[in-house]
Structure 1
């Protein structure tokens, strides 16, 4: 059995309050309008100011929190781990209002631009058609249509310029060097940051202490295998020291990353086993298999989108592994084992 995680803090800070983690690193929670109700941001001391890792979603509450924080601080740059709204949503506002330049991978910057603009095959229309081909009900499809481009709501704009991050870049931030660790499966080109001197990993969404990161298939790459990419990516964290302090985007800072990687492998293996048993001798669409995979109902398009994408990711993984077959016709895609 894996050793339990060791948390460095008993509670998370109140929204918009900076809490020291160690000299030169501060922790901020920004509110989210979802069931997952906050994201962690990290301030790294740099000269007379701070680099922020991630920016929060674009809402008035997050803007007000930033204005309060920056009344006594200056931001030197915004290093964004990946394209999702809770991470990059405020990047344009921080650049325009506070002069904060964006640092980000090219894969996530360009994908964010495409989704924000609704350019096919990254549009809401393409996503709905893709999910319908995997069994999404007409009622759920209508809810998606009514919601429209939700990404643009959380990311109204993106800076027109950025500093490109590459895998294994070494960033000098204040007194310390931070190495980028690229990860795949959750986003196009997710960048975590690791400081060897401090034994600190800013993991973004690639390694969370209590929940499993959403792994989804998207219409632009319908036969992709993001689950394998994700599992291969988190194995790179096994190269880091066992006592590394992990600063995740959701949940409290923790130690025990080796055990957490093992837990995530076990979790996804169990999900795959559920699918194999459910589809043995039967053929189901991704939408039809969701109740077996998650054992709960999803009442809003946001959660349905995650559930559909993740169900397809596990099914594709099993097809790539030769354990399932994909049955495709003009109307509906099903899977069988």
Structure 2
């Protein structure tokens, strides 16, 4: 990213694990580690009268639980954690929601589709479900080594979360959640997850954007085995429009990297990024190309098994957008692998 973009960051540096920084009145930023190349998640603590509300939780690992215990002993200053608001079902966001509920009695709030997905992924561990997921990747063009990597990831989600609570408070698009006397309006973004919630406080001019809007990388917009013909990129690009009515000078609190300003600039950049990826995807399909052929065109670097799952999903998301616009045709080879070929030029 050019140096001029770095000036969009609102703060120098980042808080150490289990430390907090107040970024707006009553809004505190803290970070938890992740065991991936993307090695952290930003979490938010909101002062809430005689207690606290947490937004997202971190992944279910001992070092993250230990960091929360340190926060209980310091930042929370003896006040109870009353509520945990989860933006979406990914394990770095919901991972410790169940543990926090058991530890503190806090009520867990989640969008209904996100809760249902989290419950499904932890409870549906059948051989048939796993076999169908591996077949999805075979049809996308995975070779034997890549299929072995996909096969090895069975149960990975369930291993990354504490038990998802049976009872939650469902919140939805357009609802206003009052925290500490201030209203936070729910804006649901699509494409990254089924019902990803962002929280907008007009009084503070603060947007908690979760993974929907990040300052440097683009959110993972991917096709997954549960909906193999989905078009998540169309949903994502459409839902970016929901944020264009917000003031440009607001403080955006993303789940990764640092808080930033310049929302309109970032929305434009995200849309431009995907237009560029769509062009590269179309170019890769001059001859019949599988999902993995497109993946190699979009991601030149070496990918670990974790990154591979996200990358193939993202490649398919761009392919499916082009197919939905009539720019690509699709067919199956004799071995069952689906391939795509250029049709009309959409550019």
Q: TM-score, normalised by structure 2?
A: 0.93
Asked if the contact 2:125/2:155 (under 8 Å) is kept, the reply is no
Distance (Å, rounded) in 2 between the aligned partners of 1:122 and 1:83:
23
1:210-225 equivalences in 2 (<5 Å)? 210-225=216-231
Question: What is the match of residue 108 of structure 1?
Answer: 114
1:181 lines up with 2:187 in the alignment:
yes
Q: Which residue of the other structure, out of 319, 322, 345, is the alignment partner of 1:318?
A: 322
Write out aligned runs for 1:30-179 (5 A). Answer: 30-72=32-74, 73=76, 74-118=80-124, 123-179=129-185
Looking at structure 2, the residues matched to 139 and 24 of structure 1 have their Cα atoms a distance apart, in angstroms, of: 50
Taking the aligned partners of 2:259 and 2:22, their CA distance within structure 1 comes to 12
- 2 CA distance for matches of 1:226 and 1:122? 25
1:202 equivalent in alignment to 2:227? no
Relative to 1, partners in 2 of residues 1:123 and 1:155: Cα closer, same or farther, differing over 3 Å? Answer: farther
> Residue 228 of structure 1 aligns with which residue?
234
- 1:257 matched to which residue of 2? 263
> What is the CA–CA distance in structure 1 between the aligned matches of 2:155 and 2:127, rounded to whole Å?
13
Deviation track 1:103-155 (CA, whole Å, cap 9, x = no partner) reads: 00010100111111235799443322101111011111112222321101111
Cα 1:327/1:278, change in 2 over 3 Å: same
The CA deviation string for residues 184-207 of structure 1, in whole angstroms up to 9 with x for no partner, is: 100010000000111100000000
Question: Does structure 2 retain, via aligned residues, the 8 Å contact 1:186–1:230?
Answer: yes
Unpaired segments ≥5 residues, structure 2: 343-347
Q: Does 1:240 align with 2:243?
A: no
Residues 273-312 of structure 1, C-alpha deviation per residue, up to 9 Å, x if partnerless?
Answer: 01111212x00100122111111121x2211100110011
Give the structure 1 partner of residue 345 of structure 2.
none
What is the aligned residue count?
334
Residue equivalent to 1:21:
23
> Which of 277, 283, 289 is equivalent to 1:277?
283
Q: Which moved more, 1:313-322 or 1:325-334?
A: 325-334
SS in 2 for 1:6: coil
Question: Deviation of residue 179 (structure 1)?
Answer: 0.2
8 Å Cα contact 2:99-2:162 kept in structure 1: no
| Separation (CA, whole Å) in 2 of partners of 1:324 and 1:268 | 17
CA contact (8 A) 1:123 1:149 kept: no
After TM superposition, the structure 1 stretch with the greater mean CA deviation from structure 2, 173-182 or 125-134, is 125-134
Q: Distance in 1 between matches of 2:129 and 2:18?
A: 33
Corresponding position of 1:286: 291
Deviations 1:20-42, CA, capped at 9 Å, x for gaps: 11220000000000000000001
| Runs of at least 5 residues in structure 1 that lack an aligned partner in the other structure | none
Rounded to whole Å, the distance in 2 between the matches of 1:120 and 1:131 is: 18
Structure 2: how far apart are the matches of 1:243 and 1:172? 23
